[in-house]
Amino acid sequence: FTPPPPTTPPCWRAFCSISIGHFCSMLGDGETTLKVLHSERLQAHSKMYAKYFPGRPMVMNLLRSLNSWLQNQTADHISYEAFKERVDNTAQVPDAALPEGVRWVGCQGSQPHFRRYPCGVWTLFHVLTVQANNTGGSDPQEVLKSMRNYVHNFFGCRYCAEHFENMVKEGMEGVTTLPYAVLWLWSRHNQVNNRIAGALSEDPLFPKIQWPSPETCPSCHTVTHNGEHGWNYEQVLPFLGSYFSSSRILPDYLE
Ligand code: FAD
């Protein structure tokens, strides 16, 4: 196993913003504005975050506090106003905070319209599948279901959401172990990379490749007996575990 080279983007500072963005998206804005939120789904998302999100202590305090409140809600739906008020109030508690503003680091593009939010969404869910695997989560599909719900209901790019939903329908049911969940998301992400390589949305400085490249992880690649390219899954899994490990997040990253 070859660890990622030190030149790999150092951290995903935007995680906290993305995580909160996930909740804020549920609060709704623009076209996705919702007056009520489905309690059970919100509870599932929130529980998953409280367990696996590798945030800074202040952010985790906020997520855990929100989670306790949500788990105590007994009605089928929670009003947008009630949830928003709770988020705002929790963010004012001294030891719990929302990050201020959004500053992209690992997902910074060469121009403002490249990378950023969708890159953050992928990165976040890769980290969460890895965290679930490392901490021995009980449901192998827990993180994937949360991603599915989020993308289906809130991801702004609707055709992306449709494609993702199709991939989910084609194979997520077969995910029966936590390591498989990590690999499933990786391989689906590569399917998307393959489909959109060369599209206008591609940042020329970050071309869509079948990831990780042989330079980033030589041992992840192999040649089949037909002489074709193949993946060495036994190496890909530890590579993903290391690349998306919480220990690689630099919470105090300064430019
Ligand atoms: P991203 O593809 O966003 O990847 C982020 C980072 O993850 C990369 O920099 C790399 O470090 C790492 N990475 C790359 N591949 C993998 C992998 N296979 N496994 C693990 N890590 C990896 N855009 C479209 O134009 N059409 C679509 O249909 C579409 N569908 C999408 C569906 C979903 C669910 C999401 C979240 C996004 C979708 N997008 C789609 C956006 C697109 O996939 C990219 O997120 C966006 O173009 C930004 O690309 P990026 O270069 O930042 O890298």
Q: Residues spanned by CATH 1.20.120.310 within the chain?
A: 116-248
pLDDT above 80: residue 29: no
- Tell me whether 0.85 is exceeded by the ipTM: yes
At residue 77, the 3 state secondary structure works out as strand
For residue 28, which of 78, 92, 64 has the smallest C-alpha distance?
78
At residue 68, the 3 state secondary structure works out as helix
Pocket of ligand 1, candidates 107, 110, 119: which has the most ligand atoms within 8 Å of its Cβ, to mutate? 119
C-alpha to C-alpha distances, 50 to 61, 67, 131, 202, nearest whole angstrom: 9, 7, 12, 33
Q: What pTM does this model have?
A: 0.89
116-248, superfamily in CATH? ERV/ALR sulfhydryl oxidase domain (1.20.120.310)
Q: What is the mean pLDDT of residues 185-204?
A: 96
**What is the CATH code for 15-92?**
1.20.120.1960
Q: Hey, what are 126's tokens? A: 């890769």
Q: Residues spanned by CATH 1.20.120.1960 within the chain?
A: 15-92
Residue 37 pLDDT grade (very low, low, confident, very high; cuts 50, 70, 90): confident
Pocket of ligand 1, candidates 119, 122, 160, 202: which has the most ligand atoms within 8 Å of its Cβ, to mutate? 122
Distance from the CA of 136 to the center of ligand 1, in angstroms?
A: 26
Q: Is the peptide bond before 212 cis (omega within 30 degrees of 0)?
A: yes
Position in ligand 1 atom list of the atom nearest CA 122: 36
| Residue pair 15/123 in contact by the 8 Å Cβ criterion | yes
Q: Hey, what are 219's tokens? A: 């041992």
The residue type found at 226 is N
For residue 146, which of 14, 11, 253, 26 has the smallest C-alpha distance?
26
User: Which pLDDT tens digit goes with each residue over 60-100?
Assistant: 999 999 999 999 999 999 998 999 899 988 888 888 987 77
Residue 255 pLDDT grade (very low, low, confident, very high; cuts 50, 70, 90): low
